[in-house]
Amino acid sequence: MAERTSGEITINASADTVMDVIADLPAYPQWSDGMEEVVVLESYPDGRPKIAKFFFNPGPIADTFILSYMWDGSRSVSWILTEGTVVKAQEGTYTLAAQPDGSLLVTYQLMVELSIPMIGKIRSRAEKMIVKTALAGLKKRVETSGIDDEEDQRNV
C-alpha cells in the first residue's frame, strides 16, 4: 500500500459546519476541481452519506468510482474505495480539531493508487496537489457560505 499524503488548513467555523459541508457530497462539483458529479447511493440513518458514486474528470485521467464512508460525529470522516476503474485503491480522512483561538484545524490525509503505472514522485506530487486544492476549496466553501451565520440567526 502506498504512503499517505497529508495537509492541514485552519478554518474559521465550527466543527459541525465544516462537517456539514464535507457531508454534502452532491455539492462537491461546486467547490472541488475536477469533480463533475457525486451521487449518494446509500445514507446512514442520520442522513450522512454511507456510499457515494463519483464522476471525476480533472483532465487527462477521468474515472467513475465508488467510496464507502465512516463518520465519527463532527471529529472525523474516513473513506475507502469500493469500486473504480482507473483508481484501484483510495483511502482518505478529514480530521477536525478545535484550536484555542476558536478556529478549527482540518487535516486531510489521502492515499491513491492508480491502475496505470505512475512514478512514485509524480503520484506523490499529484496527491499533494489534490490535498492542497481540496483543503483550499473546503475553506473557501465553508467561510463564504454563510452557514454559521444562518445557524446563528436560527438560534436567536
| pTM (2 d.p.) | 0.84
Per-residue pLDDT tens over the stretch 11-56: 999 999 999 999 999 999 998 888 999 999 999 999 999 999 999 8
| Pick from 28-32, 65-69, 121-125: least confident | 121-125
Does CATH number 3.40.50.1970 belong to domain 5-147?
Answer: no
Instruction: Please list, residue by residue across 125-147, b when 16 or more beta carbons sit within 10 angstroms of its beta carbon and e when fewer do.
Output: ebbeebbebbbebbbebbbebeb
| Pick from 28-32, 79-83, 88-92, 129-133: least confident | 129-133
